[in-house]
Structure 1
Amino acid sequence: MEFLRRWWKPLAFLLLLAFPWVNREPYYHSLGFFVLLYAMMATSWNIMGGYTGYKSLGHSAFYGLGAYLVAIAANKLGWNPLISAPFLAIIVALMAVLLGWIMLRTSGSAFVIATIAMLLIFRITALNLREITKGAPGISQPLPPWSPEFSRMPFYYYILFWLIVALFVSWYIRRSRFGLGLVAMRDDEGKAEMVGVNTTLYKVLAFGVSAYFVALGGGVWSYFTSHISPIYAFDILVGVDMILMTMLGGLGTLWGPVLGAFILVPARDLILFKFGSTTIYLAIIGGLMMLVIIFMPKGFLTTITGWVENRRAPRAAHQGARSMAEIYDSSSEKKHREDESSHE
C-alpha cells in the first residue's frame, strides 16, 4: 500500500505511455485520445469552476473558437494544426479575459446564464459567417501526413503531453498566492476582498487560463476529426461533460477531473454501444450524476479520501493511547524500582 501511494504517479504515466502499444486497435487509440482530451479540459474548467466557485456552462464556446481558428489557419494559411493550436489558443484566452471582464461582474445563476448566452452568440455567428466558417456544412482539414496504421497514436501522445502541462498549471496555481486568493473568493468573496485580494483581476485571469486549455483541446479535436461544423464545435454538452467529470471526480481537487474523465468517457462509450445514439445515453448519465450528487456531493475522490481518513483516525487514536499507556507503565515500573532501591 505504501509502495502504491509513493509510486502511483510514475506507474500511471508508464501505463499511459504503453497503452497505445498494448491495445493496437484504432478504437482504443481514439478512446484514449478522448479520455485524455476531456481530462485536460476538465482540469482546465476546474481552475475556474472548482477554485473560484464560478461555474461556467459556456466553456464549449472556447472549444469551438479553438477548433475554428485552427481549421481556418490550416485551410487559409497552410499552418500545421498541431503546431498552431497552442499559439492560437492564446488568442482565445485573451478573448476570454475580455469577455470575463464583462461577464464576471455577475455571479451565481446570472453568470451561468451569461456564459450560455456567450456560447449561443458564437454558435449563431459561426453559422452565419459562411464566407469564413462555411456555415452549417462546416470546414474540412487535410488528413494527417503519417501512416494510417498510426493515424490516432500521435494525437494520443500529443494530448497526453498537454494534459501533463494542464495538471502542472493547475497544481502550481493551487499552491500559489494566486490560487489561495481564488479559494478565498470561493469561500467568501466579500471577506477575500476585505483582506486585499483583487477579486476582479483574479477572476478574470482564472477565466483566461481556464479557457486556454479548452481552446487548445478544441483545436486538436478539429484536426483529429478532419471536419467540424458549428453544431458540434459549439455544443453545450461538451461544457456539460467537463462539469460532470469534475463533479464526479472531485470539484476543486487536482486529480478529481482526471478521475472523472477516466470514468465517464469509457462509460459513455459503453452506454452508446449498448443503446445506440439515442437520448437514453443522456438519461442514464443524468441519473448517475444525480446519484453522485446525492450520495457523494464532494465527488468520488474527496469522498473516498474522507472515508479512508475516518477509518484511520480511530486506529491512530488507539495506537496513540496504547503508546501512552506503555510509556506510563514503563515509567511506573521504573519509579517502583527506584523506591525499592531507596528502601534498601
Structure 2
Amino acid sequence: MSINKNSFWAYVTLGALGIFGPILFPDYTLSIAYLWMMVLMASTWDTLGGQMGYNSLGNITFFGVGMYVSAIVQVSFFYEGGVAEYTSAMGSIKPEFTAAQYFWGLSLGVIAAGVAALAMSLVFSTFMFGLRGPYFAIGSLGLAIAVAEITITINYVGGASGISMPLFPGEIEFRSTFFYMLCFVFAVVSHFLLRWLYSTQFGLAANAIRDDEDKAEAMGIPTLAYKRLGWGIAAFFMGC
C-alpha cells in the first residue's frame, strides 16, 4: 500500500479536521459523528459491492444485530435484573452504571457485536451466494426485512419497542465528543485496513470476481471463500 504526496496531505487535512472537529464545530458534533458513521458504512459496503460487484442491500442487518448484541451485553453484565426485565420495562428502567461498568460493558459489547455480525454473515452466506447480480441484491434486501420482522416478535429484546441503550455516565457535551471520536476512529481504522487489504491477493481475487466470476473460478480462485470473507469483513465493521 503506497500513498502519493497529494493523498498524504489530503489524509493529514482530513485527519486534523476529524480530530479537532468537536472543537471547531461544537454545535455539529453529533451530525459530523453520523457522517463518520456513513463513511464506515460506505467503506464496508465497497468490500463486496465495489470490489466484487455484489451489490448488497442488506448490510444494515449487521448494523442492527450489532446494536442489539452490544446493548444486551452491557445490560446483562451489570444490571442485576437481567435483560428480560430491562427490556420489558420499555425504557422506564434507567440503571446508573459507574464509568468503569459502562466503558467495560461498551468495550465487551462492541467486540461481541462484531463477532455476532461476522458469524451471522458466515451463516447467511452459505445460501445467499447461490445468487448473483440483481438476484443477490434483492435477496440481501429480503434478508434485512426478514431479520427485522423476526426481531420485533422477540420479547427478550424488547419486541417492537426495541431496547434502550444504557445511559452514558457523564456530561452531555462529553458524551457527544466521546461518540464522535469513537465513530471517527472506526472510520479511519476501517478505511486503512481495507485499503491495505485491497493491495493484497484479496484485492486481486475480488476484482477478478467482479470482472468475470466464471473465469476466476476456472483459474482456480476459490470465489466462494473470498466472497464469504469479504462479506464477513463488512459485517464485522458494520456490527461494531
Residue 34 (structure 1) aligned with residue 34 (structure 2): yes
Alpha-carbon deviation of 1:81? 2.1
Corresponding residue number in structure 2 for 1:47: 47
Summarize the alignment of residues 73-152 of structure 1 with structure 2, pairs less than 5 Å apart: 73-78=73-78, 80-130=105-155, 132-152=156-176
Unaligned runs of 5+ in 1: 217-344
| Of 71-80 and 92-101, the range deviating more from structure 2 | 71-80
Confirm or deny: 8 A CA contact 1:39 1:163 kept in the other structure.
yes
In structure 1, what is the Cα distance between the partners aligned to 2:6 and 2:220?
41
Corresponding residue number in structure 2 for 1:68: 68
Alpha-carbon deviation of 1:121? 1.7
Q: What TM-score do the two structures reach when normalised by structure 2?
A: 0.83
Residue 7 (structure 1) aligned with residue 32 (structure 2): no
Q: What TM-score do the two structures reach when normalised by structure 1?
A: 0.59
Q: Report how many aligned residue pairs link the two structures.
A: 212
Q: Which has the higher contact order (CA 8 A, sep 6+)?
A: 2
Corresponding residue number in structure 2 for 1:259: none
1:199 equivalent among 206, 215, 223: 223
Q: Which whole-Å deviations, capped at 9, do the CAs of 1:285-343 have from their partners, x for residues lacking one?
A: xxxxxxxxxxxxxxxxxxxxxxxxxxxxxxxxxxxxxxxxxxxxxxxxxxxxxxxxxxx
Confirm or deny: 8 A CA contact 1:74 1:81 kept in the other structure.
yes
Alpha-carbon deviation of 1:5? 5.1
Summarize the alignment of residues 209-220 of structure 1 with structure 2, pairs less than 5 Å apart: 209-216=233-240
1:19 equivalent among 18, 21, 28: 21
Q: Which whole-Å deviations, capped at 9, do the CAs of 1:7-37 have from their partners, x for residues lacking one?
A: 2211221121111111222xx0111110001
Confirm or deny: 8 A CA contact 1:97 1:204 kept in the other structure.
yes
In structure 2, what is the Cα distance between the partners aligned to 1:33 and 1:5?
23
Amino acid in the other structure paired with 2:25: N
Bigger helix fraction = 1
Unaligned runs of 5+ in 2: 79-103
| Of 62-71 and 86-95, the range deviating more from structure 2 | 86-95
Q: Which whole-Å deviations, capped at 9, do the CAs of 1:109-161 have from their partners, x for residues lacking one?
A: 2211221221122111111011x111111111221112222220011111111
Flag the 1:203–1:4 CA change in 2: closer, same or farther, 3 A: closer
Amino acid in the other structure paired with 1:65: V
Find runs of 4+ consecutive structure 1 residues off by over 3 angstroms: 2-6
- Secondary structure of 2:212's partner? helix
Corresponding residue number in structure 2 for 1:166: 190
Confirm or deny: 8 A CA contact 1:45 1:211 kept in the other structure.
no
Instruction: Tell which structure's C-alpha radius of gyration is larger.
Output: 1
| Of 14-23 and 48-57, the range deviating more from structure 2 | 14-23
In structure 2, what is the Cα distance between the partners aligned to 1:180 and 1:90?
26
In structure 1, what is the Cα distance between the partners aligned to 2:233 and 2:140?
16
Flag the 1:75–1:127 CA change in 2: closer, same or farther, 3 A: same
In structure 2, what is the Cα distance between the partners aligned to 1:149 and 1:190?
54
Q: Which whole-Å deviations, capped at 9, do the CAs of 1:185-227 have from their partners, x for residues lacking one?
A: 10011111111110111111111111111111xxxxxxxxxxx
Alpha-carbon deviation of 1:6? 4.5
Alpha-carbon deviation of 1:58? 1.0
Amino acid in the other structure paired with 1:95: M
